[in-house]
Structure 1
Amino acid sequence: MAGWLKSQLPENTPVLTSPAQRARQTAMALCHDFDIVQEIGPGASANQILAAADWPYAQGAVVVVGHQPTLGETACLLLSTMPSGLFFNKGAVWWITCQKKKSTFVAELCTVKYSEMF
């Protein structure tokens, strides 16, 4: 999964990870220059994830390596057409883009990719 994601991301894309050991291991598969962000650790809220990623104001892509159920809750918050209780499988990548339309920001689901290992 990390190989696919590396091939899709622009160089120097920020990678934010939970301080949890398993999240850091996942981030290391993607790059060795990632930021450990306490605010996205276990028990974080969807709003904490969005604030850490500077959503919707970040300039370019940001990768967040976090935990369930918060990642699913964050996707549901951004994508109003998604059912509540959305769950991210282990090793999944959900690529959500942000487009500015008139005076508001609109989130769009671009890609969902699941690892065949899990």
Structure 2
Amino acid sequence: MSKPSTPNTIDIAGQPAIINYVPELGAFRGKFLGLTGYCDFVSDSIQGLKNEGEISLREYLEDCSAAGIEPYVRQEKVKTFTLRYPESFGERLNQAAAEHETSVNTFIIETLNERMKHA
């Protein structure tokens, strides 16, 4: 069984790209995902997207190599730790995260990150 694909995506040379139709161009535009920079391509057909995507990706990788730039986004490992706090703090933490329309985990990470900027 093949793995399900994400709508409007295509795999070119092992690299996923999101595809959108651009009415002003009368063509499809693809943008590679998972790269450290911007790399796109345009065509009016699926085969054209594959061809143009391969060219664009190859040129992007060559440019990165020449400039000494890492072309791919590296997935950072996620670490965990146990945090002990009073129950009343947990209630305030939940409220603060809700006010910022984010999860408690994201709120804690963003708060720590902001605090470490000043450390």
> Whose Rg is larger?
2
The reply to whether TM is greater than 0.5 is: no
More contact order relative to length (CA 8 Å, sep ≥ 6): 1
User: When you count strand as a share of all residues, which structure comes out higher?
Assistant: 1
Q: TM-score normalised to the size of structure 1?
A: 0.24
Q: TM-score normalised to the size of structure 2?
A: 0.24
User: When you count helix as a share of all residues, which structure comes out higher?
Assistant: 2
